[in-house]
Homo-oligomer: A and B are copies of this chain.
Amino acid sequence: MTHTLATLDTPAAIVSLPRVQHNIARMQARADALGVRLRPHVKTTKCAQVVAAQRAAGAQGITVSTLKEAEQFFAQGITDILYAVAMAQHRLPQALALRQRGCALQILTDSMEGARAIAEFGRAQGHAFDVLVEIDTDGHRSGIAPDDALLLEVAGTLHGAGMRLLGVLTHAGSSYALDDPVALAALAEQERAGCVRAAERLRAAGLPCPVVSVGSTPTALEAAALPSVTELRAGVYVFFDLVMRNVGVCRDDELALSVLTTVIGHQADKGWAIVDAGWMAMSRDRGTARQSRDYGYGQVCTVDGAPIAGYLLSGANQEHGIVSHAEGSDPAIATRFPVGTRLRIWPNHACATGAQFPAYQALAQDGSITTWERFHGW
């Protein structure tokens, strides 16, 4: 059966094809203008069709957050894969098996324990892993500070053991907390400069460092220039979401993911419409709660995707969502959104919301819908 927005079962994860294509073209043009390779992070979608569109537009290689993503995309013919989470020792045999099957898997570390584990396992197996060292440029999460003595120790250990030292990688994840283009451009420069500084220290020590990899969607879009950087990674730009809207790096008409839902009841005296998109559909992500504008669990839109000013998904249980007006109760909620009304909800965080669904429903300009599967788990 061919579905439309009127016939799909709800809740459903709707992906606007024209917007995804636009977003992909926008980031690719950005990378091209900056003179760097775009290696999209596929953790946002975990979906073959989206990644194929990114590659068709010019992306070179992909970034993954789990070895399952590496396995799945390698099975789809992608060989140039960067696993951008510090390598755990117990996953080395799986990484080796992938490489022996022909996957050019790159791995990451930011500790002496990690470097030693890779070096020892690689030596024992007679295998030279391709390894990047993670750099911390914003105190956000992982990585070695660019000027830390540990950097040369880790890189030297890998190189000395015969591993292929590819270079340095950083992710300025603190960009999600900003909402000003000047501050974002400054953070992008901090991210770039810190990573380049780390690369220069490696080279000055006689160590190889062909790759300088940076990125997050906000810094990628607001960077003034990326001299000495070779590679840009970004993920959520392919869908964007309300968090990115608050950061200020996308417009409403670039929000490509929404959740289709049906009104199933009301508490009219409270101004509530009850819908069948709860947290199981939206995820529990409340990323906009800490931003300039709090959208609750999401912005309510018409079935055609137009935002309805003031109406938010203000509450969520597992399979129930509460739609209400952000500023005071709407006494006419039951006539405004009668039982059976279909709505679409823009989510806070596209990566988290997408992960709640086994598939996306890809909505073409002509209203036709194609199911695009995605995978989950590890």
Contact = CB atoms under 8 A, between A and B. Distances in A.
A51 interface: no
A352 B265 contact: no
Nearest to A348: B284
Interface string A320-335: 1010000000000000
Nearest to A319: B65
A88 B142 contact: no
Interface string A83-123: 00111111100000000000000000011011001000000
B322 A267 contact: no
Contact of A9 (B43, B90, B322): B90
Interface residues of A, number: 58
Interface string A338-378: 11100000000101100111110000000000000000111
Interface in A147-194: 173
A351 B142 CA distance: 29
How many copies of this chain does the complex contain?
Answer: 2
Contacts of A110: 265
Contacts of A285: 279, 284
A10 B90 CA distance: 9
B322 A274 contact: no
B267 A111 contact: no
A89 B340 contact: yes
A contacts with B: majority SS: loop
A88 B10 contact: yes
B267 A142 contact: yes
B114 A320 contact: no
Interface in A286-319: 286, 317-319
A274 B88 contact: no
A25 interface: no
Contacts of A10: 88, 90, 378
A66 interface: yes
A280 interface: yes
Given A88-B10, A284-B286, A339-B113, A142 B376 contact: no
Contacts of A319: 43, 65-66, 85
B352 A264 contact: no
Contact of A85 (B86, B89, B264, B283): B264
A358 B340 contact: no
Given A113-B338, A279-B285, 6 more contacts: A9-B91, A9-B378, A10-B90, A88-B262, A90-B340, A114-B265
A319 B43 CA distance: 10
A265 B86 contact: yes
Interface in A48-80: 65-66
A11 interface: yes
A274 B109 CA distance: 12
Given A9-B91, A317-B173, A86 B283 contact: no
